[in-house]
Amino acid sequence: MHTILHWFRRDLRVSDNTALHEAATRGECVVPVFIWDDAFLQAPDTGAARVAFLLRSLEALARNLEALGYRLIVRHGAPEVELVRLAREVSAAAVFTNRGYEPGDVARDRKVASALYAAGVHFESFCDSVIRECRDLLSKAGEPYTVFTPYARAWRALPVPAPQPRLPRAKVAAPSKVYSLPLPADSGALGHPLLQQIPSAGEHAAREALRTFVDRHVFEYDRRRDFPSDDTGTSRLSPHLRVGTLGIRTVLEQLQRMGDVASPVQLRGCDAWRTELIWREFYLQILANFPHVATGSFRREYDALQWSGTDEQFAAWCEGRTGFPIVDAAMRCLNATGWMHNRLRMITAMFLTKDLLVFWQRGERHFMQQLVDGDLAANNGGWQWSAGCGTDAAPYFRIFNPVTQGRKFDPDGTFVRRWIPELANVSGDGVHAPFEEPLLLSRTGYPAPIVDHAVQRGCCLAMFQKISPGPKAR
């Protein structure tokens, strides 16, 4: 094939990129293209942090491509229209891209494939963002796994492929006369003005973050990952994995490198991080194999739950003024940075659903609107786990006490004091329960709790017990 379009989506890198490598190997001329799709830009759960991080990652990608002799073509419109139009302009024989697994991705790719084939252009997609695709691992009954532990066991039993080679220099000069939109100066021009401070984007930033975490911190991951005040306890790579400025094979290769030299104690940190990366693929295959989770409960019987939380309670949760310090600190951090520590995601999601009894999909959408790493599969899976309607084998019995969680995972109150200035001068672990001292509470100006946890726990259990449980997950 002489000319191949590579359609960039969630793979914004020139190294370890399967479709891009195939295009460079099989084509004489590779034309990279990115399309601003209104289906993404105008979606109700699209937020400024994600758009801004995507834009900055695209800027870095364009520079990296230019250094190798390529020109990133940017268009705006329906992909099935723009790809056909560009393929005709450059006489492309094919369009290559890396596969998407969300329901919207699958539907869009069908439209694109149909339009391209009608125009006489070949369309091919490749596995790139995951190691195991949605039907690669099946139970003995030939069905997708719906319980994590056997899925993870099957995942670990197979080899991990090596990273793909870096894109070589262009064989043919980039097409200079083909029209390309300039990248906007900021996300506001795309309808999403950024009010948060987000991390550095682009392939170089991703690789630096990976190197720093793997070389310095991965051995302690199992001991430090649950403490939100520890800024180096987790990798912070999820925004890069979401937009694809870092390939998952590269991540696992570096993890294996450290595992090969680790002591038995250090190896526990490596294994714990690998498990979290497997969770990412588990939730993606759940979404791909059971697409109804995008719009309802994995356990369909729980769609009948009668959520009684109010708009006022939801607003208090969003704004970080529930009167439970660890919850409010987490939400204020999210609102300011587009980031939330994984332990805090569980605490805040469980508080919204099991203390405030607010419908889980309201929280799921709010997270997607705020998170810089908002990912449908991971976010949906996490929310359904916390709400008790997902793949967890014992879903609704687990109800976190937010005060206990704060004292356990922020024992000296560092994180709470960082994000709740009203409590900055409160000493001891009383910072996690200022309502226990009414005079202290009135002096700080921090709000009293909007609910009684013990009472709400009973209400939550009663709400679930009204629903007859369905069959256990496989």
Positive or negative, the CA dihedral 26, 31, 34, 37 is negative
**Marked catalytic residue, from 276, 289, 335, 422:** 276
Per annotation, catalytic residue among 7, 273, 279, 385: 279
- Is-catalytic flag, 385? no
The verdict on whether 155 is a catalytic residue reads no
109-118: Cβ within 8 A, 24+ apart: 111/79, 111/80, 112/79, 112/80, 112/83, 114/80, 115/80, 115/81, 115/83, 115/84, 116/80, 116/83, 116/84, 116/87
**CA 176 – CA 215 distance, rounded (Å):** 42
Residue 4, token pair as written in the block: 């191949």
Distance CA 294, CA 365 (A): 11
175-207 residues labelled b (16+ CB within 10 A) or e (exposed): beeeebeebeeebeebebebebebbebbbebbb
**Best CA proximity match to 19, nearest among 113, 118, 123:** 123
List all residues 6 or more positions away from 454 whose beta carbon is below 8 Å from its beta carbon: none
Q: How far apart are CA 412 and CA 431, in angstroms?
A: 9
Rounded CA-CA distance 390/392 in Å is 6
Q: DSSP for 138-184? A: B-TTS-B--SHHHHHHHHHTSPPPPPPPPPPPPSS---SSS--PPPP
> From the candidates 360, 364, 385, 419, which is the catalytic residue?
360
Torsion (CA) 45, 48, 49, 54 in degrees, nearest 10: 90
The token pair that represents 178 in the structure block: 């083909």
Residue 317 among the catalytic residues:
no
64 in catalytic set: no
Taking alpha carbons only, the member of 16, 268, 252 closest to residue 156 is 252
Count CA atoms closer than 13 A to 176's CA, side-chain side. 3
Residue 235, H or E segment = none
Single-letter amino acid, residue 272: A
Identify the active-site residue in 133, 289, 307, 335. 307
Task: Identify whether 273 is a catalytic site residue.
Answer: no
| Catalytic-role residue among 220, 289, 335, 342 | 342
- Is residue 66 part of the annotated active site? The answer reads no
Q: Contact 270/140 with Cβ under 8 angstroms?
A: no
- Active-site residue identified among 7, 383, 385, 419: 383
Instruction: Write out the catalytic residue numbers.
Output: 276, 279, 307, 342, 360, 383
